[in-house]
């Protein structure tokens, strides 16, 4: 763990290592790499563009079931293809996800940041980087924190799915809340300072790649993958891919 200076405070930064597994149930795969598709066929990627990942393949289905479209039948396993530096917003940090609601902080509600070339602003319940953070530390490409809403649902549903509990490693933050952490990442290896509008042929350096695709309801196949190819890393609360 290392520290960086932001105004008059120190922030914790953690390096999440290459080969860390990330799990997500996306609506459109390309959105996770080049951003939102615009009406003219190009794609928009902003400095504050966020992609949200869980540490296991079951969390999304438990927490977000009511948000899925009928087309979202697959869960994708991603893998980090490089080490990434992220803000650490769980213990021992004195800051947490709810810090976004305070004034003049290094993270803020996504609904308050510039939407840039995106068709709409972000959600008020999601955390985004401040402009100062992005300008000063473009190599910090994300954050790790506990989403209280997701974890409240997860904990309730886990009572009925005892066999899956071993994949849910709980963290704690300075607000004394517990839950599995969520890793929020920008797709690009270095966070851009301005909006990027790209075409299909444009190539970028990404932080992650797709490793596997599963039916999100195929629990036997998902548990088989976890038991054979995922090694828990207590330093990150995520899993490392093993061949």
Q: How far apart are CA 210 and CA 221, in angstroms?
A: 17
pTM of the model: 0.94
Burial class (CB in 10 A: 0-12, 13-18, 19+), 47: buried
What residue spans define the domains of the chain? Answer: 2-236
Whether pLDDT at 68 is above 90: no
Categorize the per-residue pLDDT at 161 as very low, low, confident or very high, splitting at 50, 70 and 90.
confident
Lowest mean pLDDT segment, chosen from 118-122, 146-150, 160-164, 234-238: 160-164
Whether pLDDT at 66 is above 60: no
Task: Give the model confidence (pLDDT) of 214-229 as tens digits.
Answer: 998 899 999 999 999 9
* The pLDDT of residue 27: 86
- On average, the pLDDT of the chain sits at 94
Categorize the per-residue pLDDT at 70 as very low, low, confident or very high, splitting at 50, 70 and 90.
low
CA atoms within 13 A on the CB side of 178: 4
Q: How far apart are CA 21 and CA 18, in angstroms?
A: 9
Average pLDDT, integer, range 146-151: 92
* The pLDDT of residue 67: 60
- State how far the alpha carbon of 67 is from the alpha carbons of 64, 120, 147, in Å: 5, 18, 16
Q: How far apart are CA 120 and CA 100, in angstroms?
A: 19
Print burial letters for 182-216: b (CB count within 10 Å at least 16), e (below 16). Answer: bbbbbbbbebbeebbbeeeeeeeebbbeebbebeb
* The pLDDT of residue 69: 59
DSSP state, residue 162: G
Is the backbone peptide bond immediately before 92 cis, with ω within 30 degrees of 0?
Answer: yes
Angle at alpha carbon of residue 164, lines to 181 and 180, rounded to 5°: 10
Task: Give the model confidence (pLDDT) of 82-104 as tens digits.
Answer: 999 999 999 999 999 999 999 98
- First and final C-alpha spacing in the chain: 27
Whether pLDDT at 166 is above 60: yes
* Secondary structure of residue 105 in the 3-state scheme: coil
Helix (H) or strand (E) holding 133: helix 131-136
């Amino acid at each position: 763990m290392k520290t960086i200076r932001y105004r008059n405070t120190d922030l914790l930064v953690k390096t999440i290592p290459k080969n860390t597994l990330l799990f997500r149930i996306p609506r459109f795969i390309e959105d996770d790499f080049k951003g939102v598709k615009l009406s003219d066929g190009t794609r928009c990627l902003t400095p504050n563009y966020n992609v949200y990942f869980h540490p296991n393949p079951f969390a999304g289905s438990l927490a977000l079931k009511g948000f899925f479209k009928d087309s979202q039948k697959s869960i994708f396993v991603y893998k980090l293809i490089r080490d990434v530096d992220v803000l650490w917003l769980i213990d021992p940090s004195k800051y947490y996800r709810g810090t976004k609601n305070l004034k003049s902080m290094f993270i803020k509600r996504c609904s308050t940041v510039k939407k840039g070339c995106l068709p709409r602003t972000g959600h008020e319940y999601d955390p985004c980087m401040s402009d100062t953070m992005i300008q000063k530390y473009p190599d910090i490409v994300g954050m790790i924190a506990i989403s209280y809403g997701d974890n409240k649902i997860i904990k309730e549903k886990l009572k009925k799915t005892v066999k899956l509990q071993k994949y849910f490693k709980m963290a704690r933050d300075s607000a004394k809340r517990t839950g599995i952490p969520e890793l929020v990442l920008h797709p690009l290896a270095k966070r851009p300072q301005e909006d990027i509008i790209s075409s299909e042929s444009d190539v970028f350096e990404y932080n992650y790649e797709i490793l596997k695709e599963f039916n999100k309801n195929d629990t036997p196949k998902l548990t088989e993958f976890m038991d054979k190819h995922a090694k828990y890393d207590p330093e990150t609360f995520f899993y490392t891919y093993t061949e």
